[in-house]
Amino acid sequence: MKRIINSEKAPKAIGPYSQAVETNGTLYISGQLPVDVTTGKFIEGGIKEQTEQAMKNIGYILEEAGYSYKDVVKSTCLLSDISNFAAMNEVYGEYYKVDCPARAAFAVTDLPLGALVEIETIAVK
């Protein structure tokens, strides 16, 4: 059984995909951009502020689905510039202090709408 998850607190999908899909106790959260749902625009600032907003958006979706950051087992962090890795990692680490999820992080040529970071997440109950 597949359940589509949509949180009003997180930005709406900008394409033909869902914010998240849950199936068989696993939640797959689509890549989250640093969009502030109240303005519909990227949060102001640099990589730290954008990472913080992306992580908040993930939290809103986790909450809507009945999960928490403790349930996260895998993240993929996409960066527009690998030189932003340390600053992104500093903010990311505030959300996962013990029993951290598996993770991949790499630079890509471009991210949607010119974002500096996009983070996708998998959580399991």
Kindly give the confidence (pLDDT) of every residue in the chain, 125 residues in length, as a single tens digit, with 9 standing for 90 and above: 899 999 999 999 888 999 999 999 999 999 999 999 999 999 999 999 999 999 999 999 999 999 999 999 999 999 999 999 999 999 999 999 999 999 999 999 999 889 999 999 999 99
- What's the CA angle centered on 23, arms 22 and 27, to 5 degrees? 35
Is the overall model pTM greater than 0.75, yes or no? yes
Dihedral sign (CA 102, 90, 81, 20): positive
What CATH code is carried by the domain that includes residue 48?
Answer: 3.30.1330.40
Residue type, 85: F
Domain assignment of residue 100, given as a range: 2-124
In 3-state terms the chain splits into helix, strand, coil percentages (rounded to 5) of 30, 35, 40
